[in-house]
C-alpha cells in the first residue's frame, strides 16, 4: 500500500509541477490539456536527465531527475502563475472528472495486477523488460549498459524504460514493484488521455468516455465470432485470451490491442509509448482547434509549443521507433488542415510546409546522441507475398471500422452534393478560396488523373487478391471525399476534420503491411511481416478508437437531427451490438489470465520466490550487499525460458550473456554472441581451473552463480572447481554465489 501511495504522490507532483505549461500550451482544448501535464513533465524530466547523462556519468542517483523536476516546475509556475489560476477555475469540472477517472483506473488496474493477472514477472518477454528497466535505473550514463551482454550498451529503444525508471526513482519504490505500477499508470493514463481527446472532439463530458472505451477497454471480434461458436470456455481453456491477438495468417502475425497488452503485462516499447502518442494527438487536436493561424515566429508563444511537439515526436523514436513516422504524419496533417482552414491565400500551404519541416528537423536534432549510438537491426523493405484474409481482418478491425463507417456515412448524408444553383452561389461567394478561382480545368484534369491511378491500383490489387487493400482504398477514398467537403463547408467543423484525419491515417496504416514490410530478424520465416503488421495495426487501433467515440456522438446527432430518429436508433443498435461483441472478450479474458495461488502483491519477484526460493534469496542478497554494476555470470539457454538470466533480470547487474536469441535480434549476426554462449559453457563444464579463471577474468566476472539452473544445464564434476579459487559469498536453497 505504501508503495502505491508513493507512486501516486510522485505522479501527481510531476503533473502539478508542469500543470501551468500544459494549460498554456493546450489553450484550444476544452479541458486545457490538464491530464497531459503528467506526461509533459515526464518528457521534460526524461529528456534533460538523458541529455546530461549522455555526456556526464552522474545519472545514478535521484538527485538529477529531482533537480530537473524542481527547476522545471518552479519555472513553469513563476512565468505562468497568472494564467494558471483562472484557467483551472474555468475547467474545474473537467479536471475533477479526468483526475477521478485517472485515479480510479490506477487503483482498479493495480488491484487486478495484484489479485487477478498477478504481478509475477515470468512469461513472454517480461524478463527482457525488467532487465532493461533495471539497467536504466542503475546506469550512470546513457545509453545504459546492456544487462544481458556485459561490457556493451543497450542497442534498443530504451528511453521508455528510462522514463519509467526515473519515475520509479522519484517514487522511491523497488524496481520490481515499479514495473507493475508502471503498467497501472499506462492503463490509467490511456483511459484518462483518450477521455480528454474524446472531450476535445465532442465537447460533451458524458460522450467523451466512448473514446476511452474503444481504445482501452474493448477487445476485437475474434472471441465472439470464432471462440464462442467453437464452445471454448474461457474459465477452463488455458490462455483463452491469447488467440485474439494471433488472428491473421495462422499465428504468423500479431494483432495485439491495448486491453490485451495491459492484461499480459509486458512493459514493451509499443505500450510505453502510449502517453507520448496521445500527447502528440493532443498537440494535433489543439492545433486544429486553435482559432488563429499557426506561424513559426521568433517568440515564445510560437516556438515553445512547437519545440515541445518536436521533443515529444523525437522521443517516440527512442521509445518505440515505429511510432515516429506515424505520429509525425498525424501532426503534419493537423498542421496542414489548420492552415487550410485559417488561410484563404493561394499559397496557404507554404507556411505549414515550413513548420512541418522545422518540427521534423528539430525532432531529429534533439535526439542526436541517441542516433549516434543506435544501430538499427532492420535491413530495408520487402514485398508482402501472403496478404491478409478479409474475414480474418474484419475479426480484428471490424469493431472500430463499424463506427468509422457511421461517421463517414452520416457526414456523407449531411454533405450531399449541392444543386447547380447552390454550387453557383458557393463558387461566386466572397469567401471563396483564391486558389479555386479559375482553376476548374486544372482541377478536373488532376481529378481524372487521380481516378485513373486509383483504377490501376484497384486492378493490381484485385489481381493479387489484396482484398484488405481494396477495402481500405474504397473506404479511404470515401474519407478523403468527406474530408474535402467538411473542410470546404460554409462553417467547417474542426472536430470532423480531426476525426476524419485520424481515420484516413489509420486506413493508410492498415494498407501498408498488405504491400510492403520492414525486413528484420524474422525476414525469411513465416512470420516475416509480424512486426510490421503488429505495430501499424496497433497505431491504427488507437487512431480509429479515438475517432470511434466521436463517430458515435456525431453520427447519432446528425441522423437524429437532420434525417430520421428511426435511422439514428438503428445505427445506434448496430454500434451497441458491435461494441458488446468486443466487450465479450473484455469480460471473459481475465478468467484464463488468472494466475491465482500465488502471493497477492505488486512485487514482480513473486513467481521467482514461489518457483525458485534459492535464486530469490540470492537476488535479495545481491541487491542488499552489492553496489555499483559489477558483472555476474549465470547459465544461458533457451529463449523465453525464465530459468535463464533470472539473476541479472531481478538485480539489474550485467551478465555475460542473457537470452542470446534476443541479442541476435538487437545486434544482428554478431559472432561475439555465440562465442560468449560457448565460453559460458566452458567455464561451467571444464575441469581445468586455469581455463575457467582465464575466461572469468576476460569478461570481468566478479560473481558467479551456481544454482538449480546451472546444475541442470551443465551437469558434471566441473561445478565443484569454483570453491578452489573463489570464496562462497552466499548459499541458500541450492543456490550458491561465488565471488573473487
- List, for residues 388-404, the tens digit of each pLDDT value: 999 999 999 999 999 99
Listing DSSP states for 666-725 in one string gives HH-S-HHHHHHHHHHHHHHH-S-HHHHHHHHHHTTEEEEEESHHHHHHS-SGGGGGHHHH
Distance CA 49, CA 71 (A): 12
Q: Which residue has the higher pLDDT, 327 or 639?
A: 327
420 pLDDT tier (thresholds 50, 70, 90): very low
Looking only at the bridges linking them, the beta strands covering 631-633 and 701-706 are: parallel
Characterise 652 by phi-psi region: left (phi > 0), alpha (psi -120 to 50), beta (else): left
Buried b / exposed e across 194-211, counting CB within 10 Å, b at 16+?
bbbbbbbbbeebebbbbb
pLDDT at 439 over 50: no
278 pLDDT tier (thresholds 50, 70, 90): very high
For residue 419, the model assigns a pLDDT of 42
Q: Which three cell numbers stand for residue 335?
A: 498542421
Least confident of 230-234, 459-463, 488-492, 524-528: 459-463
For residue 595, the model assigns a pLDDT of 60
Query: What is the average per-residue pLDDT within 519-533?
Result: 93
Calculate the CA dihedral of residues 190, 192, 194, 198 and round it to 10 degrees.
170
For residue 139, the model assigns a pLDDT of 96
Q: Residues 6 or more apart from 412 whose CB is under 8 A from it?
A: 478, 481, 482
Q: For residues 539 and 395, is the Cβ–Cβ distance under 8 A?
A: no
Whether the bond between 143 and the residue before it is cis, its omega within 30 degrees of 0, is yes
Helices (H), 559-612: 565-593, 606-611
The mean pLDDT of the chain is 92
pLDDT at 426 over 80: no
Distance CA 738, CA 723 (A): 8
For residue 436, the model assigns a pLDDT of 45
Global pTM value: 0.93
pLDDT at 440 over 80: no
For residue 448, the model assigns a pLDDT of 67
Give CB contacts under 8 A, 24+ apart, made by 348-351. Answer: 348/433, 348/435, 351/293, 351/294, 351/295, 351/296
For residue 427, the model assigns a pLDDT of 36
pLDDT at 647 over 60: yes
For 612-739, the fitting CATH number among 3.40.50, 2.60.40, 3.10.180, 1.10.3470 is 3.40.50
Residue written as grid cell 501511495: 5
Cα separations in angstroms, 38 against 34, 119, 355, 679: 8, 24, 26, 47
Q: Which three cell numbers stand for residue 390?
A: 478479409
pLDDT at 431 over 50: no
Least confident of 231-240, 353-362, 665-674: 231-240
Q: Which residue has the higher pLDDT, 599 or 622?
A: 622
State what percent of residues in the chain have pLDDT above 90. 82
Distance CA 93, CA 672 (A): 59
Distance CA 156, CA 458 (A): 39
- List, for residues 156-174, the tens digit of each pLDDT value: 999 999 999 999 999 999 9
Q: What angle do CA 184, 9, 123 make, to 5 degrees?
A: 25
For residue 146, the model assigns a pLDDT of 97
Query: What is the average per-residue pLDDT within 103-112?
Result: 96
pLDDT at 521 over 70: yes
Q: For residues 667 and 658, is the Cβ–Cβ distance under 8 A?
A: no
Torsion sign over Cα 430, 431, 433, 436? negative
Rounded to a whole number of angstroms, the CA Rg of the chain reads 27
Query: What is the average per-residue pLDDT within 26-40?
Result: 97
Reduce the DSSP state of residue 145 to 3 states and report it: strand
Residue written as grid cell 535526439: 367
pLDDT at 432 over 70: no
Give CB contacts under 8 A, 24+ apart, made by 626-631. Answer: 626/651, 626/653, 626/703, 629/138, 629/139, 629/145, 629/653, 629/654, 630/700, 630/702, 630/703, 631/150, 631/151, 631/655, 631/656, 631/699, 631/700, 631/701, 631/702, 631/703
pLDDT at 332 over 60: yes
Q: Residues 6 or more apart from 89 whose CB is under 8 A from it?
A: none
State what percent of residues in the chain have pLDDT above 70. 93
- List, for residues 305-323, the tens digit of each pLDDT value: 999 999 999 999 999 999 9
For residue 435, the model assigns a pLDDT of 44
Q: For residues 261 and 271, is the Cβ–Cβ distance under 8 A?
A: yes
For residue 442, the model assigns a pLDDT of 54
Amino acid at each position: 500500500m505504501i508503495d502505491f501511495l508513493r507512486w501516486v504522490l510522485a505522479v501527481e507532483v510531476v503533473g502539478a509541477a508542469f500543470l501551468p505549461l500544459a494549460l498554456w500550451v493546450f489553450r484550444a482544448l476544452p479541458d486545457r490539456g490538464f491530464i497531459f501535464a503528467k506526461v509533459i513533465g515526464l518528457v521534460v524530466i526524461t529528456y534533460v536527465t538523458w541529455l546530461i547523462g549522455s555526456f556526464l556519468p552522474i545519472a545514478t542517483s535521484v538527485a538529477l531527475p529531482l533537480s530537473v523536476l524542481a527547476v522545471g516546475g518552479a519555472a513553469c509556475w513563476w512565468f505562468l502563475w497568472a494564467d494558471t489560476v483562472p484557467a483551472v477555475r474555468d475547467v474545474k469540472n473537467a479536471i475533477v472528472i479526468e483526475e477521478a477517472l485517472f485515479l480510479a483506473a490506477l487503483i482498479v488496474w493495480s488491484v487486478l495486477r495484484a489479485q487477478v493477472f498477478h504481478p509475477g514477472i515470468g512469461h513472454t518477454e517480461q524478463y527482457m523488460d525488467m532487465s532493461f528497466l533495471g539497467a536504466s535505473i542503475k546506469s550512470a550514463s546513457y545509453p545504459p549498459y546492456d544487462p544481458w551482454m556485459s561490457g556493451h550498451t543497450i542497442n534498443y529503444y530504451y528511453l521508455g524504460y528510462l522514463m519509467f525508471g526515473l519515475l520509479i526513482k522519484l517514487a522511491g519504490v523497488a524496481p520490481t514493484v515499479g514495473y507493475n505500477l508502471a503498467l497501472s499508470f499506462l492503463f490509467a493514463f490511456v483511459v484518462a488521455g483518450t477521455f480528454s481527446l474524446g472531450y476535445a472532439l465532442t465537447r460533451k463530458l458524458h460522450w467523451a468516455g466512448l473514446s476511452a472505451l474503444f481504445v482501452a477497454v474493448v477487445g476485437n471480434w475474434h472471441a465472439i465470432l470464432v471462440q464462442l461458436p467453437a464452445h471454448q470456455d474461457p474459465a477452463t481453456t488455458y490462455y483463452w485470451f491469447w488467440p485474439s491477438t494471433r488472428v491473421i495468417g495462422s499465428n504468423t502475425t500479431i494483432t495485439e490491442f491495448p486491453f490485451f497488452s495491459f492484461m499480459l503485462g509486458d512493459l514493451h516499447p509499443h505500450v510505453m509509448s502510449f502517453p507520448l502518442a496521445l500527447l502528440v494527438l493532443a498537440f494535433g487536436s489543439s492545433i486544429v482547434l486553435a482559432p488563429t493561424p499557426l506561424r513559426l515566429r521568433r517568440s515564445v508563444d510560437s516556438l515553445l509549443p512547437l519545440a515541445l511537439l518536436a521533443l515529444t515526436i523525437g522521443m517516440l523514436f527512442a521509445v518505440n521507433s515505429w511510432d515516429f513516422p506515424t505520429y509525425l504524419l498525424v501532426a503534419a496533417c493537423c498542421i496542414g488542415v489548420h492552415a487550410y482552414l485559417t488561410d484563404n491565400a493561394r499559397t496557404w500551404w507554404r507556411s505549414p510546409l515550413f513548420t512541418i519541416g522545422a518540427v521534423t528537423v528539430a525532432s531529429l536534432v534533439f535526439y542526436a546522441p541517441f542516433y549516434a549510438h543506435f544501430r538499427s537491426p532492420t535491413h530495408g523493405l520487402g514485398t508482402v507475398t501472403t496478404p491478409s484474409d478479409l474475414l480474418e481482418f474484419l475479426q480484428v478491425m471490424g469493431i472500430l471500422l463499424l463506427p468509422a463507417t457511421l461517421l463517414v456515412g452520416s457526414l456523407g448524408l449531411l454533405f450531399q452534393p449541392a444543386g447547380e444553383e447552390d454550387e453557383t452561389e458557393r463558387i461566386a461567394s466572397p469567401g471563396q478560396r483564391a486558389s479555386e478561382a479559375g482553376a476548374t480545368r486544372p482541377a478536373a484534369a488532376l481529378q481524372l488523373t487521380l481516378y485513373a491511378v486509383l483504377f490501376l491500383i484497384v486492378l493490381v490489387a484485385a489481381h493479387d487478391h489484396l482484398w484488405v487493400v481494396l477495402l481500405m482504398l474504397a473506404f479511404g477514398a470515401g474519407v478523403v471525399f468527406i474530408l474535402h467537403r467538411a473542410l470546404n463547408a460554409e462553417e467547417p467543423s474542426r472536430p470532423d476534420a480531426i476525426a476524419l484525419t485520424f481515420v484516413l491515417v489509420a486506413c493508410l496504416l492498415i494498407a501498408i503491411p498488405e504491400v510492403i514490410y520492414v525486413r528484420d530478424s524474422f525476414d525469411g520465416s513465416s512470420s516475416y511481416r509480424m512486426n510490421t503488421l503488429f505495430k501499424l495495426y496497433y497505431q491504427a487501433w488507437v487512431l480509429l478508437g479515438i475517432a470511434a467515440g466521436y463517430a458515435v456522438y456525431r453520427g447519432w446527432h446528425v441522423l437524429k437531427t437532420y434525417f430520421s430518429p428511426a435511422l439514428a436508433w438503428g445505427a445506434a443498435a448496430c454500434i451497441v451490438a458491435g461494441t458488446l461483441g468486443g466487450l465479450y472478450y473484455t469480460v471473459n479474458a481475465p478468467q484464463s489470465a488468472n494466475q491465482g495461488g500465488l502471493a497477492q502483491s505488486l512485487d514482480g519477484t513473486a513467481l521467482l520466490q514461489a518457483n525458485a526460493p534459492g535464486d530469490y534469496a540470492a537476488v535479495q542478497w545481491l541487491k542488499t550487499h552489492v553496489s555499483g554494476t559489477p558483472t555476474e555470470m549465470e547459465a544461458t539457454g533457451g529463449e523465453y525460458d525464465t530459468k535463464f538470466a533470472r539473476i541479472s533480470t531481478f538485480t539489474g547487474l550485467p551478465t555475460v550473456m542473457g537470452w542470446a536469441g534476443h541479442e541476435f535480434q538487437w545486434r544482428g549476426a554478431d559472432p561475439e554472441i555465440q562465442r560468449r554462449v560457448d565460453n559460458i559453457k566452458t567455464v561451467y563444464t571444464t575441469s581445468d581451473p586455469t581455463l575457467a579463471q582465464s575466461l572469468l577474468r576476460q569478461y570481468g566476472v566478479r560473481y558467479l552463480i551456481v544454482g538449480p539452473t546451472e546444475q541442470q544445464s551443465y551437469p558434471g564434476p566441473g561445478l565443484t572447481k569454483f570453491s578452489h579459487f573463489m570464496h562462497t559469498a552466499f548459499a541458500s536453497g541450492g543456490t550458491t554465489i561465488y565471488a573473487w
